[in-house]
Amino acid sequence: MKKTYLLAALIALAVASLFIGVKPIAPSDLFNMSNSQSQVFWSSRVPRLISIVVSGASLSIIGLIMQQLTRNKFVSPTTSGTDDSARLGILVAMLVFGSAGMLEKTVIAFVFALAGTFVFMKILDRVKYKDVIFIPLVGLMFGNIVSSGTTFFAYKYDLIQSISTWLQGDFSAIMTGRYELLYVSVPLVAVAYLYADKFTIAGMGEDFAVNLGLNHRLVMNIGLVIVALVSAVVMLTVGTIPFLGLVVPNIVTMFQGDNLRKSLSSTAIMGAIFVLACDVIGRLIIYPYEIPIGLTVGVIGSGIFLYLLLRRKAYDL
């Protein structure tokens, strides 16, 4: 998997994304755009492209981190209760702090996402049957319990429509002033790269990591904080994008192995490519309308996930 090809695909899809939409804008119009074209291009198309790339790359990276730390190829924020816990945090912010802004909601969603992830890790420690499929099933059950509680209180306080906004990922509402929170993911990805080797060692088990002089608990906590914060930021900005942090890391590690530092950049690029491709498909398939990115990624990602399940022995997953 050569990065040159991945970068070429990313650039091609990024250019295509900029010029797909109801408002006709051609590459030849770039230096001679009308006022309406300029407003659409700089206030909608460019922010949308940036949010797609940042979301795709960051969600793929935290999926890779989760798989490394849990030593399970089928664990991700979607299958560990992290996303469901973040959604519960958003509901709590809406109930307790009715006028809470994006920053306050992010902090509360992060706290709940982190707590949910820690609970899942504690459950993982207690489970004796470490089958590769059983562990994510436990995470899905835990997430469904949290999600059921969120739905119950949302119905009780007549907030089901508001909370449903974060059930489906959608880039159609991304505009200038509504996506900048995603930039928080950029330094977190940088921290993930700095700790890549330590995450790799931590994923080999606590005893092995301690024998090498690594502070296993500290490294684990740093990894889980990155996962929880990125999940909360992306959910509040664009909603839930399922399967992304699950399938992309698996595809990359099939070709590049489990060395986190070696596969981190390829995972980020592949994640951005995957989301861009799904977004372009969703915008073209029923043009001039569009399908939400959560639905497109969910359909394609679930197909890839089933393929990985069926071929797990062949790829030693």
Q: What is the mean pLDDT of each run of 10 residues along the chain (317 residues)?
A: 80 89 77 82 89 92 88 83 88 80 83 90 77 79 88 84 73 82 88 86 78 82 89 87 87 80 87 92 86 88 81 54
What is the predicted pLDDT for the residue at 129? 66
Question: What is the DSSP track for 291-311?
Answer: --HHHHHHHHHHHHHHHHHHT
Query: How is the chain split into domains, by residue range?
Result: 3-310
pTM equals 0.88
pLDDT the model gives residue 49 = 92
pLDDT at 54: 93
DSSP track, the chain: --HHHHHHHHHHHHHHHHT-SSS---GGGTTS--HHHHHHIIIIIHHHHHHHHHHHHHHHHHHHHHHHHHT-TT--TTTTTHHHHHHHHHHHHHHH-TT--HHHHHHHHHHHHHHHHHHHHHHHHH-----TTHHHHHHHHHHHHHHHHHHHHHHHTT-HHHHHTTTS---TT--TTSSGGGGGHHHHHHHHHHTHHHHHHHTT-HHHHHHTT--HHHHHHHHHHHHHHHHHHHHHHH---TTHHHHHHHHHHHHH-S-HHHHHHHHHHHHHHHHHHHHHHHHHTTTTS---HHHHHHHHHHHHHHHHHHTTTTTT-
Phi, psi of 263 (to 5 degrees): -100, -5
Does domain 3-310 fall under CATH 1.10.3470.10? My reply is yes
What pLDDT sits at residue 59? Answer: 92
